[in-house]
Structure 1
Amino acid sequence: MLNSDLVVDNFKPDLRSANATIQRGLFIRLLRIIILIFIDILSLSAAWYFATNYTFPSQPILTNNLSLLLVSLGIQFTILATTGVYRAGVHRRDYAGIIKAVSVSSILLFFITLLDEPTNHILPSTYLVYWLTSITGICTFRLLFDLSTNFLRHKGIIRHSMFVIADAQQKDELIEIIEKDNCYKVEGFADSSCLDLRNREDTFKFLRDRNIEEVLISWDSIKNRFFLYWYFYNTGITVHILPTENQLSFSQSRFSLIGELPFPTIAAPLLAGLDFWIKRLFDFCFSLFLIILFTPIYLSIAILIKLDSPGPIFFRQKRLGLHGKQFLIWKFRTMVPNAEKVMAELEAKNEMKDGVFFKMKDDPRVTNIGKFLRRYSLDELPQLFNVLLGEMSLIGPRPLPMRDVEKFQTKHFIRQEVLPGITGLWQVSGRSNIDNFEDVIKLDMKYIENWSILFDFRILLQTLRVVLQKTGAY
């Protein structure tokens, strides 16, 4: 029997989906960036005006050309932005980086005007003054901005809200690290039990109600359930992971500094769930396109199945889908009509080591045309209709028969938190050559934890290669 705690509302969304949640704390971050851009443009414009009008007033009118000012601002702003000086924390105070960026852009601008007007260009000494006043203005304004920000934060204003999840003995140490940054307000502390299945919904309700922007979480609290980062991600909460002696490397993470310590950080997207709904739109459009394109192939396979053996063209079977919802999966029939009844007699020959799956290389139930269809995975083509109906995705963990699901342990049900797929990481990593269910689960977890649209696209391309090479197909 299925665990009733894991079979939830049929309309509960995929783990990776969200209802257009905006990144928490986005207003403060955008305000900081806008102010920095404004003071940089103001400094650059003032420096240009001073250098071209008061240093050498006898120069030609070209020095006051508005288009040249705009080109200057465009070049310098682009180079400043690429150096990361509009990011938070130490990045905006990277005065060495600012000086380097302004220097490079000033030299570049000089050569552009030299090539454009070789006989009537601005004097090099003007650029020297422009370079010096630009650096002075930008660094001075940024220092004033930093002092003002620190003053307000000491007053408890414009701080980001932070929640800490770790062992109780780490509480004082972590809070001390956070307070060194003078930009966070710790809104609460809890141990890892707050992420247990029975407490999870209450924890995330608390985080939403308190408008928590960022969470600092110990690796021990999340290492065996890293999929939970999707909960934070789609609530608009940025996650910082407490450093560990082991090297942590996640495709979604980057390092950020808190209290001068580097933390692997998974930033919430500006608009949560957008990438997942792009995936669903692609699933619908691409499956509809393939159904129309493969219509002649569908008809040909149907005729061959009828000529090969008695029985229906299609095979339908109950499978466990998203959040424990059962659905009928469609395949072209590749076995004799009474295949499921015969399977009980073949259980002793199961080649899966732990017996969760049933896999047999020379399965006597497979028909002649069925062997050909399986070799090239053509039997899976009708599942495009399951994708079209929203029961499956093109890419995802493979939906399993109820016979296999009945042998699941509680930890295995995490694969039901996302839409099942026609193909997935398991299929492109060996398919039937993998003879241990725990290895399958590891691949499913790797897919869930590292999912992105690009990852799906890579699996799709690898699937084509695996199908053509007939890797692990039987």
Structure 2
Amino acid sequence: MAYKSLSVLDFKPDLRSAHHAGIQKGSSIRFLRILVLLFLDATLLLLAWKLAVHQGTYIDSPWTDNSSFSWLVLFVQLGIIAATGQYKAGINRRNYLRLVKAISLSEIILLAIAFLYEPSSYLSRSTFILFWIFSCLFIGISRSIFDLGTNILRKRGIVQHPVFLITDTSEENEHIQLIKKENCYTIQGIADAHCLDLENRDRTFEYLRESGIVEAFVSWSAIKNRLYVCWNFHAAGITLRILPITSQVHHPKSVFRMVGSIPCLTIPAPLIIGSDFWVKRIFDLCCSIVLIFFLSPLYLLLAILIKLDSPGPVFFRQKRVGLHNKEFKIWKFRTMVTNAEKLQASLEAKNEIRDGVLFKLKDDPRITKVGKFLRRYSLDELPQLFNVLLGEMSLVGPRPLPVRDVERFHTKHFLRQEVLPGITGLWQVSGRSDIDNFEDAVQLDIRYIENWSLWMDLQILLKTVGVVLHKTGAY
């Protein structure tokens, strides 16, 4: 297989990055719904408070004579209603029992504030009781009318989300009926699982973006062996719903939502598309610049030691296969004799990786004295901060492998090439060189891709420090 060199003109982004910055699909309708509900709730809560003050027993108190307390009441009430999820989509805003609980909790908080503010003054108990009754009544009726109006509009084809269904033919009718029961979706297209295959994936997501698809429903049978594809939906700003749900499904950004009567694993689209990945990239850039600056004296010291130890250059540059199988030159401090790559052919028979994809040898005769020390503490990897700075690598990701290793890949192994390679990764903190089976290493890389988050990257970086200091599996 031939690998092309890295070029800006044919650059294809990391699996987790967005093609362009943007706002979550369908967010305008969601914001409008929240604004309408907030306006209705605020108006009705103020009305309920005014009526309660007028109808309740009058007591000369700051609560009844000072209009600013009305805004305090409104702030507390709306804050508690929002905190309990009453402005979320679907069944959340129709959960009247939870709504009554939220209003009751806000009443208790208001009573506590009233007591602490004026402990020596009397409070009109009838005012607070009436306010509680009016609030529950007005908000409950308001939500019912809002839902009734929304349903009428949806029956006329208004306020519906365009969705795309990906499912096997045998499950198609069942899933269509399930989606139609929600009465808030317009099925704009249907395809089978092959549309998510590598050769079809780009065309599929281009169609979804151009068609303005807000949510995608994908059957579990279509996604179960390719959960990493979830990042494509995430990066496109499209909310993903997996049907039906099984206990085996897991994704770090997934939440349970009801679609009809069936629990559905939902991976919501980010509000700002690609924000997580760009935070990762900015973090990589800032850290690499800071580390290069502070480690420059160490670079100089190691360069002197390498020169004194054996003849040859300080740095070793080797072709590695990175993002989307593009070749680039990786930077390392030289730890071997200058003709190490030529000597490898004679050592292949001693390879300690069982399946032969990678080449690892504990007592490799090509390693120099200083090289052993550098490898023991992973100091030979420090120049790769320049690769991070150039955007060829990340601090955390699957390790970029030599061309020799990638040429022995099976088709399933190439998934690890869909994300930016890293200086360290889940493979390195889970055993480093002690892993003697390439399939185990690939599974760790795939687990990282499927479950990636900024927090996961930070955890791997912290674990890397511990692994290096304890010299775990290094040689």
- Name the TM tier (shorter chain): over 0.9
Q: RMSD of the alignment, in Å?
A: 1.7
Partners of 2:69 and 2:389 lie apart in 1 by 55
2:13 is matched with 13
Partners of 1:171 and 1:7 lie apart in 2 by 42
Is contact 1:110–1:124 with CA below 8 Å preserved after alignment? no
Is contact 1:24–1:212 with CA below 8 Å preserved after alignment? yes
Partners of 1:413 and 1:8 lie apart in 2 by 21
Supply the AA of the counterpart residue of 2:16: R
> Which structure 1 residue ranges, 4+ long, deviate > 6 Å from structure 2?
6-9
Partners of 1:447 and 1:242 lie apart in 2 by 23
Shift of 1:66: 2.5
Shift of 1:414: 1.6
Partners of 2:178 and 2:7 lie apart in 1 by 41
In the alignment, is residue 194 of structure 1 matched against residue 195 of structure 2?
yes
Shift of 1:61: 5.5
Is contact 1:334–1:369 with CA below 8 Å preserved after alignment? yes
In the alignment, is residue 418 of structure 1 matched against residue 416 of structure 2?
no
In the alignment, is residue 304 of structure 1 matched against residue 305 of structure 2?
yes
Classify the secondary structure of the residue corresponding to 1:23.
coil
Partners of 2:187 and 2:293 lie apart in 1 by 56
Classify the secondary structure of the residue corresponding to 1:256.
strand
Q: Deviations over 1:59-94 (max 9, x none)?
A: 345413223222212221121112111111110001
Classify the secondary structure of the residue corresponding to 2:288.
helix
Q: Deviations over 1:105-124 (max 9, x none)?
A: 10210121112112224311
Classify the secondary structure of the residue corresponding to 1:264.
strand
Partners of 1:215 and 1:9 lie apart in 2 by 31
1:145 is matched with 146
What does 1:30-429 correspond to in 2, within 5 Å?
A: 30-57=31-58, 59-60=60-61, 62-429=63-430
Shift of 1:3: 7.6
Partners of 2:396 and 2:262 lie apart in 1 by 38
Supply the AA of the counterpart residue of 2:170: Q
Supply the AA of the counterpart residue of 1:329: I
Classify the secondary structure of the residue corresponding to 2:222.
helix
Classify the secondary structure of the residue corresponding to 1:294.
helix
Deviates more, 1:62-71 or 1:266-275: 62-71
Q: Deviations over 1:403-457 (max 9, x none)?
A: 1011112222221111111011111111111111111111111111111111111
Q: 1:116 to 1:317 in 2, by over 3 A?
A: same
Partners of 2:310 and 2:203 lie apart in 1 by 56
Classify the secondary structure of the residue corresponding to 2:457.
helix
Supply the AA of the counterpart residue of 2:17: S
Structure 1's unaligned 5+ residue stretches are none
Q: TM-score, with normalisation over the residues of structure 2?
A: 0.96
Partners of 2:441 and 2:168 lie apart in 1 by 31
Partners of 2:264 and 2:224 lie apart in 1 by 15
Q: Deviations over 1:213-271 (max 9, x none)?
A: 11111122122222111111111111111124443222110011111211110000011
Supply the AA of the counterpart residue of 1:278: V
Q: Deviations over 1:187-209 (max 9, x none)?
A: 12111111122222221222122
Q: Deviations over 1:28-82 (max 9, x none)?
A: 1111111111111112111111111332345345413223222212221121112
Identity of aligned residues (%): 57
What does 1:463-474 correspond to in 2, within 5 Å?
A: 463-474=464-475
Partners of 2:115 and 2:54 lie apart in 1 by 19
Partners of 1:127 and 1:207 lie apart in 2 by 52
Partners of 1:224 and 1:60 lie apart in 2 by 66
Partners of 2:273 and 2:80 lie apart in 1 by 29
Classify the secondary structure of the residue corresponding to 1:215.
strand
Supply the AA of the counterpart residue of 1:373: L
Q: Deviations over 1:321-363 (max 9, x none)?
A: 1112211111011111111111111101101011010011111
Partners of 1:44 and 1:158 lie apart in 2 by 27
Supply the AA of the counterpart residue of 2:393: M
Is contact 2:162–2:214 with CA below 8 Å preserved after alignment? yes
Supply the AA of the counterpart residue of 2:201: R
Supply the AA of the counterpart residue of 1:44: L
Classify the secondary structure of the residue corresponding to 2:236.
coil
Is contact 2:252–2:453 with CA below 8 Å preserved after alignment? no
Deviates more, 1:146-155 or 1:215-224: 215-224
Supply the AA of the counterpart residue of 2:162: S
Classify the secondary structure of the residue corresponding to 1:331.
strand
Is contact 1:7–1:323 with CA below 8 Å preserved after alignment? no
Partners of 1:16 and 1:115 lie apart in 2 by 51
